[in-house]
Amino acid sequence: MKSLILLLISISYIVAGQYDKVKITPDMAYIYVYHKGKAVKVHREQDTKHKLTGEYAKTYRPGKDIQPIKINDDVKTIGEVELLHFIKDKGNTGKGILIDLRTKDNYAKESIPSAINIPFRVKDNPEKISKVMQILGAKIANDGSWDTSEAMDIVFYCNGLWCDKSARFIKMFLELGYPAKKMLYYRGGFQMWKILGFTTVINK
């Protein structure tokens, strides 16, 4: 019995320190998030020699403008720390949702854990947008406009600093009446998520 307790204690030590070499913030080494019903531990790559390679290390992005730091004065831009707090406080409790606006293919390959995929081109399909609005908790009011009083908070992201999908989608949502206060913009996007060595999930 004693040895079993000792074993359990030592295991908990190993587990506790597992992501301490490269932490997220001083008080956060990892968090659990829910991705398609399963708990996923989000932490950072622990190999301090690890370099980002492949598509997201590429600098050549012809025709892709660098995006301004903010969309407008009312929609807040956030970074990774704020995103993780959002997922923990809102995402994990069903009050908020992380939306990946990249293509279906990009999302299938790899995404930020807990994100759902709404490809940007859905924007031009009113029927699908109407469905998306309802999934987010918006209701059609008597006068035909959207009642968003019960709608979820959203964080949007796309490929990165040079991707305009988030800004354009958020502007369209503003026009539909989705409140600016309920939308956040993770400008760093998938590229910054990758270069900081964060956990990703495959969606195949």
Q: Residues 36, 41, 64, 104: which binds other proteins (CB under 8 A)?
A: 64
Give the number of residues in contact with other proteins, rule: CB under 8 A: 47
Q: Residues 35, 102, 165, 187: which binds other proteins (CB under 8 A)?
A: 187
3-class secondary-structure state, position 34: strand
Distance CA 192, CA 178 (A): 27
Q: Which amino acid is at 6?
A: L
Site string for other proteins, 117-146 (x = CB under 8 A): ------------------------------
Q: Is 57 in the site for other proteins (CB under 8 A)?
A: yes
How far is C-alpha 178 from the geometric centre of its chain's CA atoms? 19
Q: Is 82 in the site for other proteins (CB under 8 A)?
A: yes
Q: Is 67 in the site for other proteins (CB under 8 A)?
A: yes
Q: How far is the CB of 195 from other proteins (least distance, A)?
A: 6
Distance CA 35, CA 91 (A): 10
Q: Is 180 in the site for other proteins (CB under 8 A)?
A: no
Which residue has 């939306």 as its token pair? 99
Distance CA 120, CA 103 (A): 7
100 DSSP β-pair partners: 117, 157
Residue numbers at the binding site for other proteins (CB under 8 A): 20-26, 44-53, 57-69, 77-82, 160-162, 187-188, 191-192, 194-197
